[in-house]
Amino acid sequence: LPTTMGAEGAGGDHGGEERIPLLHK
């Protein structure tokens, strides 16, 4: 999940930070 969400959130580069707001969505 972190890898997939990261790819959608920030191209998988800094998805670790981008996946947090995505999970809240």
- The parts of the chain modelled with pLDDT lower than 50 are 7, 11-12, 15
In this prediction, residue 15 carries a pLDDT of 47
pTM: 0.13
The boundaries of the domain holding residue 13 are: 1-25
Q: Which ranges in 1-25 belong to alpha helices (H)?
A: 2-10, 15-24
- Is there a contact between 9 and 20 (Cβ–Cβ < 8 Å)? no
In this prediction, residue 5 carries a pLDDT of 52
Report the number of distinct structural domains present in the chain: 1
Amino acid letter for position 18: E
